[in-house]
A and B are shown apart, each in its own frame.
Chain A
Amino acid sequence: MQFIWAFLIGGALCALGQVLIDLTKMTASRIMVTFVVAGVVLSFLGVYKPFAEFAGAGATVPLCGFGNTLYQGVKKAVMEQGLIGAFTGGLGATAGGIAAAILFGTGVAMLFSPKGKH
């Protein structure tokens, strides 16, 4: 059942992004920034976490889930360590994904050359 919700909710979030792209001609980077910041705000408002518990990967895999992870990390660190947590918690919680993207991106770029261009 969790797989069906992941498919439906994740798909719906992407379809929503597609509508924004088609109607506003937003570029890929604008749409990504919009979704991450929206994830932070919705998480701060207490909306995203219960949503993610229900939708699973459908809510955490899209980029608004990255925003949610940023804020949940910040919140946890603030509760445990006070104000300094606001600066350390977000990157701590998302470090795995960011480090993986940098390492794998660099590794692949060194091993492969662009195809199908020119």
Chain B
Amino acid sequence: MELNIPKDKYKKRADDAVEKSDIWIDMLKAFVVGGIICTIGQVISFGAQNIGFTKEQAGTVTSIVLILMSAVATGFGWYDNLGRWAGAGSILPITGFANSITSPAMEYKSEGLITGLGVKMFIVAGPVLVYGISASVIAGILTYLISLV
């Protein structure tokens, strides 16, 4: 994207646009879209339990199905359009995690399958995994130490 607007002027314009967007409207949009995605997840979870998965397995099945739906929706460009409208409502569910992997993978495919797609797919998901996994290992060590006492 090439805009012939000086950087400071652009920033001011962007800030004005942000201020104009009402925080309550943003919250409502995030609430509705996030709520709908979680409700779809609940439907998948009950469906998985009905066909014989345990509750724990059903959680994994739910994640996998939601991720597949999100990846395909990202491929068609639908999820990014939804994201522009829904903000956190599309970022915070697990579908947002899948979108954060699929979207840069598509975008940087032209830079090569290894250094483009393979590297850039973790541009957002990387830190999520790094800090999430690190935190869980530390918490696990603490749990172990507490169990010794």
Contact = CB atoms under 8 A, between A and B. Distances in A.
Interface of A: 2-3, 6-15, 17-23, 25, 28-29, 31-33, 35-37, 39-41, 43-44, 56-58, 60-63, 65-67, 69-71, 73-75, 77-79, 82-83, 85-87, 89-91, 96-98, 100-102, 104-118
A101 B97 contact: yes
B132 A74 contact: no
| Residue from A11, A14, A31 having most chain B Cβ neighbours under 10 A | A14
Interface string B83-125: 0000111011111111011100111010000000110010111
A113 to B, nearest CB: 7
Interface residues of B, number: 81
A3 B133 contact: no
B105 A105 contact: yes
How would you classify the secondary structure of chain A's contact residues: helix, strand, loop or mixed? Answer: helix
Interface string B27-62: 111111111111101111110000000000001111
A40 B106 contact: no
Contacts of A98: 129
B41 A61 contact: yes
B140 A78 contact: yes
Interface of B: 1, 18, 21, 23, 26-39, 41-46, 59-64, 66-68, 71-72, 74-77, 80-81, 87-89, 91-98, 100-102, 105-107, 109, 117-118, 121, 123-125, 127-129, 131-133, 135-137, 139-144, 147
Contacts of B143: 44, 74-75, 78, 86
B31 A104 contact: no
Contacts of A22: 21, 23, 26-27
Given A21-B87, A113-B109, 8 more contacts: A3-B42, A7-B38, A57-B39, A74-B137, A97-B64, A98-B129, A112-B76, A118-B1
20 contacts: A7-B39, A12-B31, A13-B34, A14-B33, A18-B23, A22-B27, A56-B45, A60-B41, A60-B59, A62-B94, A63-B92, A74-B143, A82-B144, A83-B141, A89-B140, A106-B118, A112-B75, A116-B77, A116-B80, A117-B107
